[in-house]
Amino acid sequence: MENVAKLKKEFLEYLEIEKGRAVKTVENYDRYLKRFFAFSKISAPKDISEEIVRKYRIYLNRANLDKNTQNYYIIALRMFLKYLSKRNIDSLDAEKIELAKAAPRELDLLDIADLERLLNAPKGTSAKILRDKAILELFFSTGLRISELCNLKIDDVNLKRDEFSVRGKGGKIRVVFLSNRAKDAIKKYLEKRGEIDNDKLFSVTPRSIQRMIKKYAIVAGISKKVTPHVLRHSFATDLLQNGADLRSVQAMLGHANISTTQIYTHFTDKQLKEVHKAFHGRRRK
Q: Minimal CA–CA distance to 7: which of 53, 46, 58?
A: 46
Rounded to whole angstroms, what are the CA distances from 116 to 23, 112, 113, 233?
A: 36, 6, 5, 15
> Which among 35, 57, 169, 181 is annotated as catalytic?
169
> Which among 73, 83, 189, 264 is annotated as catalytic?
264
Instruction: State whether residue 14 is helix, strand or coil.
Output: helix
Asked about 264 being catalytic, the answer comes back as: yes
Q: How far, in Å, CA of 107 to CA of 232, rounded?
A: 11
> Which among 21, 131, 133, 145 is annotated as catalytic?
145
Give the per-residue SS3 of 108-122.
Answer: CCCCHHHHHHHHCCC
Q: Where are the alpha helices (DSSP H) in 120-226?
A: 127-142, 146-150, 180-193, 206-219
Asked about 145 being catalytic, the answer comes back as: yes
Q: Contact at 8 Å (CB) between 139 and 229?
A: no
Find the helix packing angle between 4-17 and 67-86, rounded to 10°.
100
Q: Minimal CA–CA distance to 116: which of 217, 258, 14?
A: 217
Asked about 229 being catalytic, the answer comes back as: yes
Q: How far, in Å, CA of 53 to CA of 93, rounded?
A: 12
Q: Minimal CA–CA distance to 78: which of 65, 89, 92, 88?
A: 92
- Per-residue burial over 61-70, b if 16 or more Cβ lie within 10 Å, else e, is eeeeeeeeeb
Q: How far, in Å, CA of 24 to CA of 34, rounded?
A: 15
Chain centroid to Cα 3, Å, comes to: 34
Q: Contact at 8 Å (CB) between 188 and 134?
A: yes
Asked about 189 being catalytic, the answer comes back as: no
List, by residue number, the catalytic residues: 145, 169, 229, 232, 255, 264
